[in-house]
């Protein structure tokens, strides 16, 4: 199977307990992306997203715009890999 574009994103700030993962899921439904959003023990939210590069990049930017008031820092790592997810979910 072909490789897809993939991003791992860590959002830091007041991102837990404010509906961040649910909002991320809602945004994901507007794009052709697969992956998940999960709370981490250190207070960050991790988002894994894969698909066409333009879709993934625009999706992550849309999450940042929708939730900008809660985000203090965003760390993004990207690359290409074999598809791992089917659909987008909250963990």
Active site residues: 21, 39
Residues 6+ apart with CB under 8 A from 80: 3, 4, 5, 6
Question: Dihedral of the CA atoms 52, 26, 88, 67 (nearest 10)?
Answer: 80
CA separation for the pair 65, 47 (Å, rounded): 15
Question: How many other CB atoms are there within 10 angstroms of residue 64's CB atom?
Answer: 15
């Amino acid at each position: 199977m072909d490789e897809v574009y993939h991003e791992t994103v860590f959002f830091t700030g007041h991102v837990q307990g404010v509906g961040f993962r649910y909002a991320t899921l809602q945004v994901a439904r507007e794009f052709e992306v697969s992956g998940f959003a999960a709370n981490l023990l250190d207070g960050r939210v991790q988002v894994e997203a894969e698909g066409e590069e333009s879709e993934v990049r625009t999706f992550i930017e849309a999450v940042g715009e929708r939730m900008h008031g809660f985000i203090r820092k965003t760390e993004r790592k990207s690359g290409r890999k074999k598809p791992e997810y089917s659909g987008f979910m909250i963990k």
